[in-house]
Amino acid sequence: MAGFPNRPSRTAYGPTREDERPVQNPKRELSAEDMNINFWQIAGMGLTAPRAVIGVDSLGTPVNPNFYQGLAWDPRQQLPDIVVTRNGTGDYTAVFQATYADEQDVQISTALLAGKASPQGTANLNGIVELPDAQTANIFIFDADAGTPIDSDFLLELW
C-alpha cells in the first residue's frame, strides 16, 4: 500500500475479494472471507494506532538520547532519534521531519493529529501535548498536586 504512514482506509487494500473456487484445504489456502476481514481489521488498527512512540529521558544532557523510539514509518529503525529539546522545567519540544519516505521511497508529508504524554514517576504527574503544526509537538509535564512544572521522563505517543 503506497503512501504509508498515511492513515489507511479499507479501499487502500483493493477491492473486496471473492473466491475463485471453494477453499479445499484451509491449512494451505486463504478464503476471500478471511482476506476481507484481515484487511478490515488492519485498516481499523491503522486508524487508531499511534504513528510515533518516543520514550524521553528528561535528565539526559542533552535531553536525548531517547530510551525508546518507534515510528510507524521506520520499521527497520534506521532513522536517527527525534530530537527533543528542553525549553525549561517541564517544557519540551519534539520536531519531526516534514516528510518521510514510504515503502516505495515516495515522500509523504508528516501529519500529526493528536498526542499524549505519560510522565514516568511516583508523584502525581500529568502531561499535556499541544500540536502547533503537523510536525511539532510541545510537551508540558507538571506536578498535579503542587501545580508546578517538573522535569520527568515521559512516554510520548502521537497519532
Structural domain of 148: 52-158
In a domain, 71, yes or no: yes
- Torsion angles phi and psi, residue 143, rounded to 5: -80, 115
Residue-level pLDDT at 2 = 58
Mark whether 22 and 58 lie in a shared domain.
no
Mark whether 110 and 131 lie in a shared domain.
yes
Count how many domains the chain has.
2
For residue 26, what is the enclosing H or E element?
Answer: none
Mark whether 44 and 97 lie in a shared domain.
no
Mark whether 42 and 66 lie in a shared domain.
no
Mark whether 92 and 142 lie in a shared domain.
yes
- 8-49: pLDDT as tens digits: 888 888 999 999 999 999 999 999 999 999 999 988 888 888
Say how far apart CA 159 and CA 148 lie, in whole Å.
Answer: 27
Say if pTM beats, i.e. exceeds, 0.85.
no
Say how far apart CA 15 and CA 18 lie, in whole Å.
Answer: 9
Say how far apart CA 119 and CA 152 lie, in whole Å.
Answer: 6
Nearest to 94 by CA among 56, 133, 137, 129: 137
Mark whether 66 and 142 lie in a shared domain.
yes
In a domain, 1, yes or no: no
Residue-level pLDDT at 3 = 61
Residue-level pLDDT at 89 = 93
In a domain, 95, yes or no: yes
- Torsion angles phi and psi, residue 35, rounded to 5: -65, -45
